[in-house]
Copies of this chain bind each other. A is one copy, B any other.
Amino acid sequence: MKNSSSIQALFGAHLKKLRLQSGLSQEAFADKCGLDRTYVSGIERGVRNPTLEVISVLAAGLEIEISKLFEFS
């Protein structure tokens, strides 16, 4: 598994924070998105490089705009 890059780590940490704020477990969130839980786990840990399509699915699963997934400092 490749090392996490800066953007992957930032994105993953922010995604996890938003998911926890929404009250969803990783499994419930993955199910809602139609993604595998291990894949969502990898994104949150910053070791996966999700595509635009997947990023769109993640935002829909959290019922937020995609831009909100990138509002980290």
Binding site for B on A (CB under 8 A): 5, 7-8, 11, 49-53, 55-56, 65-71
Contacts and interface: CB of A to CB of B under 8 A. Distances in A.
Contacts of A11: 52
Given A65-B70, A67-B70, A70-B67, A52 B53 contact: no
Contact of A52 (B50, B68, B71): B50
B56 A7 contact: yes
Nearest to A57: B7
B67 A8 contact: no
Nearest to A68: B67
Contact of A7 (B52, B70, B71): B52
Given A65-B70, A66-B70, A67-B67, A51 B53 contact: no
